Structure 1
Amino acid sequence: MTTVTHLISSTPTLARDIDGKAISAQVLDEVREEVLALAGQQIFPALAVLLVGDDPASHVYVRNKLLRAKEVGIRSLEYRLPDDASQAQVLEQIAQLNADASVNGILVQLPLPGHIDEAAVIHAIDPIKDVDGFHRENVGGLVQGMEVLTPCTPSGCMRLLKETCGDISGLHAVVIGRSNIVGKPMATLLLQAHCSVSVVHSRSVDAPALCRLADIVVAAVGRPHLIDASWLKPGAVVIDVGINRVTDESGSHLVGDVDYASARTVARAITPVPGGVGPMTIAYLLKNTLIAAKLQRAVKAREPDPDGCDSDIN
């Protein structure tokens, strides 16, 4: 009698990385092509960035955004105010940019110094130039399914899901975190994509059990390594928005809200940190600048001709 021994590997199949760098490069290529096409129509999208104070991290973020803008052909303008600038000075600068027809997008780099009301500054930006998508009119329009400027990070996450999963309609998505910047708009975009959506937060009862029901998990809470394999359904797709700096025996480095090493033994696909969601945020900032330029052009086309004729007829 011949005995046949079946060897079963004890090494689990690991999730594949969702390459945010490669996918963001695709988005930037798309933006570059559209910018070139608009140039042929004498339309030149421009992004104005306002930086208040001397926060080192903010300076790095602004520099990276301006470099990417230059790469795709978007004209960029940088405005700096000192750390002790008054709220009135900040609002005056925004008013000038709102009134400048050559500026299509306005970005105020956050955080602002403590004596300035961030909400007042955000809502002072013309909604059609609000490329961060934080203005109350854009937030409300997003919920109603209108064509508005949408927060960059959730938009980038949706592109990652599209490239990874294709059609996600009917899938169950869990968003961990309910911030205005990521969690809430992310849940709204997933609903628009016809997912069943749950939002898990600090008051949720048995959050891990809720997450184990999800085909898609989006983590955005700002707590390093909160989510591990025990939170995940086998085969889930994990989008890790968290960027947390930690220091351990190997030094200081960035980690996500998801315990990457653990989660990838269960998930089907996962975004690494860094190199996952981060590059998508800047790519969609520039895409929003392009969308803003188009929206402004459409509004201008609908305006009555100063001579009394409808401009669409001429």
Structure 2
Amino acid sequence: LIACVQDSKVLVQRCALDLLILGFPLYNSHLTTDDMIRLVTAALSTILRRDQSLNRRMYAWLLGSEVNMTMLAHYPQLIKAKAESKPLTYFEVFSKNMLVKALKIILDNSIGVRPFDLKPYKLLISLLDKDGVGPAILDDILFEYFRLLYLTCNADPKVDTTEILEEANRLFGTIEPKFLWNYIGQLFSKACANHQSTNLDIENPVRRVASGDPGVVEICTLTEFLLDKVSTFDTSADTPSKHLPGLFLQVVTLLLITAMSSRLCKSSRDLSYAPKSSLVSSQSSSDIATSVMIFRIQTHQTHR
């Protein structure tokens, strides 16, 4: 099946997807979960062909378009989703987790590939065009793309990364700037809440793809990198006057709340995107003056 969905002939891929829809819907247990994830990983390659017949079949498989949900009422996944008051769409219950794990495999496998593997970026761009699929997984997968880009660009300083950065800009350019900045703020909030269970590595703060939620130092490192390298993050008109000040204020508030934790205070030295306060307009500079001062003092004290 994996060989068929990755075949060079569209007709073979169509037949393979038809077989998946009829014989291996994502709710069944004919195959193990790991094998189903392998199938999803392989089948995602069909989306990159931009063939309507393939896309229609692929999304029918993911969305369960031909599945009667009432017949699945006894399935444990659906019962659990109801008990936890989670969304009850077929995709959310049966497909989402497999798709996210499949994407993480694709991202992790692309690290170190030369020439640069652009497929992960093209794939998410295509998925974002499909309502109910791309937007539904963005919260779970976007930070892995931050990691992928950072690890790829920093693997070898001598390698020209222009091509990969251009593709990343195309991807991030399809996402609203407000969402991107709010997302980073949410990551930071979550990291602060879980900081006691986060292992800090100041020397190598960015972990490999699929290694769990990012910690405080990692988020700060990624944010600085994105501001430096990805034009999408600092070209928006609202970035210097709205998004960046809002993030600074949120970070300061969270740091003050968790200041009793020595580990978090130590990690705050890596909030080195604070010097980018030059991006912030004078109109809002008074609102974030305190945050910039705290970051600079902490950084100075750490390096002394």
Q: TM-score range by the shorter chain?
A: under 0.3
Greater RCO, CA 8 A, separation 6+: 1
Structure in which a larger fraction of residues adopt helix: 2
Q: Which structure shows the bigger proportion of residues in strand conformation?
A: 1
